[in-house]
Amino acid sequence: MYVREEENDLMIKKLRESALKQSPVDLSKTLFCLAASTVFRPVFGQSFLENTHFNEEKIEELVFEAQRSLTFKFSDLFPIPVLGWFIGLVSSQNKSLYNVFNKVDNFLNHIIDDHRHSKNPTQDRPDIVDSILDMIDKQEKDKSFKLTIDHLKGLSQDIFLAGIDTSAITMIWAMAELVKNPRVMKKAQEEIQTCIGIKANERIEEEDLDKLQYLKLVVKETLRLHPPAPLLLPRETMSHIKIQGYDIPPKTLLMVNAWSIGRDPKYWENPEEFNPERFIDSPMDYKGHNFELLPFGSGRRICPGMASAIATIEFSLLNLLYFFDWKLPDEKKDMDMEEYGDVTIVKKVPLLVVPILRH
C-alpha cells in the first residue's frame, strides 16, 4: 500500500510542474513508469526510474518485445513438434525468441547479483527477491522440493512481464475515455469532491477508495471495452468436447476472446458506448463469476494479480482526477482511440493531454 501511495505522490509532483507550465504531458509514458515502479519496488527493491541496468525506454521495449515473442509460435500449429521447430528456425522466430529472453535473463541476473552483494539490505522491508534468496539459503538439504535461482527468475519474470503493462494499459484507456467523455469525468470528479473533499495535507490515501463507487464503475466499464489481454491466456482441452456442434478433440489449444464478448450486443446495450452507469445496481463483476465480463479470466487460471492491479488502477485514477482537470492540447480536436497490439492491446497514439490544477 505505501509503495502505491509514495509512487503516486511522485507522479503528482511531476504533473504539477507540467500543469504550472500549461504544457502537454505524455500520460501513456507517465502511467507506464508509475505501474513499473509500483511493481519494481516490492519485487526488486528499487525504483523503476533508479534502475541502472535498463533505462525506462529499454524496459518498456523489452516488456512488449517479450510479449510479442510469446504471441504466435509455429510449434503451436503443427502436430509434429520437429516440423514446427524447423519452420521457426528457418523463419528466424526461434532466434528472436532466444534473443529477447536472453535479455530478460541478463536483466534478472543483474538484479539477483545486486541483492547478493548489497551492502545495505532493507531488512525492515525485504522485497520478493530478498525473501526468496533467504529461503533458498536456509532450506534444508534433503530430497524434497527445493527452491532454486531458476524458480526465482521464473516468478520474477512472470510478475515483471505480466504485472506492469496490463495495469498501465487499463489506466491509459480509462483516462482516454474520460477525456473523450467529459460528462463521465465530471461525474467522477464530483463524487470525489463530495466524498473526500479537500485534503488538508493534499495527500490521497488508499483508504479513500472505500468511499467511491462511481470511480469503480468507470474502471469496470474500461475493462469491458478495453481488456488489456483481449484473448486471455490459452487453454488446452483435457478431453473431447462439443461446442455449438463442433467437435473439439483433446489437447486442442483454445483462445477466449474477452474483447469480443465485452462488446457483444446480445449481452450489452449500446456496447460501443462508454457508459459506467450500466453497472449501477448490477451484480456483474470482473472477478470471473460472470462470463460476459472476463478481463482477468476465470476459474483456477484466473489472473493471480487481479486484486493488486485493480488497487493500482483505482488509486492512480483517483489521484489524477482529484488533483487535475484534463483536456486535449489546443491543436487536437478529438481523441484518437485506435488500438494496436497482439498479446496486449495498447492505445496506438500516445495519450497526450494537458493537466490543469484543481487545488
Task: Give per-residue pLDDT as tens, 226-273.
Answer: 999 999 888 889 999 998 899 999 988 888 999 999 999 999 999 999
Distance CA 32, CA 40 (A): 12
Across the range 44-55, mean pLDDT stands at 74
Report in angstroms the alpha-carbon separations of 30 from 9, 278, 350, 353.
13, 30, 10, 11
pLDDT at 93 over 80: no
Percent of the chain with pLDDT over 70: 86
Task: Give per-residue pLDDT as tens, 194-223.
Answer: 999 887 667 888 999 999 999 999 999 999
When mean pLDDT is compared across 82-96, 147-161, 249-263, 279-293, the lowest value belongs to: 82-96
Tell me what the pLDDT averaged over the chain comes to.
85
Q: Go through 263-300 and write b for each residue having 16 or more CB atoms within 10 A of its CB, e for each that does not.
A: eeeeebeeeeebbbebbeeeeeebebeeeebbbbbbee
Continuous segment of H or E residues that includes residue 247: strand 246-248
| Coil vs helix vs strand at 347 | strand
pLDDT band of 134, cuts 50, 70, 90:
confident
| Cα three-residue angle 263-315-321, rounded to 5 degrees | 80
137 grid coordinates: 539459503
When mean pLDDT is compared across 37-41, 52-56, 86-90, 320-324, the lowest value belongs to: 86-90
CA 277 to chain centre: 24
193 grid coordinates: 469532491
Of 121, 156, 118, 149, give the one whose Cα is nearest residue 135: 149
Residue 85: the pLDDT is 46
pLDDT at 158 over 50: yes
In degrees and rounded to multiples of 5, residue 177 shows phi and psi of -65, -35
Feature table: binding site = 303
Residue 192: the pLDDT is 95
Of 105, 159, 102, give the one whose Cα is nearest residue 127: 159
Residue 181: the pLDDT is 96
**In order of start, what are the domains of the chain with their CATH numbers?**
2-357 (1.10.630.10)
pLDDT band of 312, cuts 50, 70, 90:
very high
pLDDT at 344 over 50: yes
Distance CA 241, CA 243 (A): 7
Residue 86: the pLDDT is 45
| Coil vs helix vs strand at 341 | strand
145 grid coordinates: 522440493
Q: Give the strand pairing for 246-248 and 235-236.
A: unpaired
The distance between the two most distant Cα atoms of the chain, rounded to a whole number of Å, is: 68
Task: Give per-residue pLDDT as tens, 162-199.
Answer: 888 889 999 999 999 999 999 999 999 999 999 998 87
pLDDT band of 74, cuts 50, 70, 90:
very low
Half-sphere exposure in the Cβ direction for 244 (13 Å, CA): 0
Feature table: binding site for heme = 303
pLDDT at 335 over 50: yes
Across the range 18-25, mean pLDDT stands at 93
CA 223 to chain centre: 11
Helices (H) and strands (E) counted in the chain, each on its own, are 12, 9
Residue 55: the pLDDT is 65
Task: Give per-residue pLDDT as tens, 97-110.
Answer: 778 778 888 888 88
Across the range 113-122, mean pLDDT stands at 71
Residue 59: the pLDDT is 72
